[in-house]
């Protein structure tokens, strides 16, 4: 997958989770992509790319924890 595909996939996953009244998390995106927990840094990079491209945002910007970060689509 190239960068655009990864960003779009993360965005669509965030949209799906949002309509299900849930959040995109590192573990939910790992599960979606079928990536092992040992490779969670890869998924963190995908999330970072989507945030940089302004497709998703933190659900709670005041939160200091990156480990338990939750994300929503930018329009939410």
The residue extents of the domains of the chain are 3-73
Render pLDDT for 8-60 as a digit per residue (tens, 0 to 9).
Answer: 999 999 999 999 999 999 999 999 999 999 988 999 999 999 999 999 999 99
Pick the CATH number of 3-73 from 1.10.3470, 1.10.10, 3.40.50, 3.90.1570: 1.10.10
Task: Determine the pLDDT at residue 64.
Answer: 79
- Decide if pLDDT at 1 tops 90: no
Say if residue 4 is exposed, middle or buried (CB neighbours under 10 Å; 0-12, 13-18, 19+): exposed
| Cβ neighbour number for residue 76 with a 10 Å cutoff | 12
Nearest to 22 by CA among 74, 61, 71: 71
């Amino acid at each position: 997958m190239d960068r655009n595909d990864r960003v779009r996939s993360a965005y669509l996953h965030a949209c799906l989770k949002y309509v299900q009244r849930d959040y995109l998390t590192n573990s939910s995106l790992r599960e979606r992509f079928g990536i092992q927990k040992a490779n969670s840094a890869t998924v963190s990079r995908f999330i970072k790319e989507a945030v940089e491209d302004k497709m998703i945002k933190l659900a709670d910007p005041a939160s200091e924890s990156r480990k338990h970060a939750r994300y929503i689509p930018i329009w939410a």
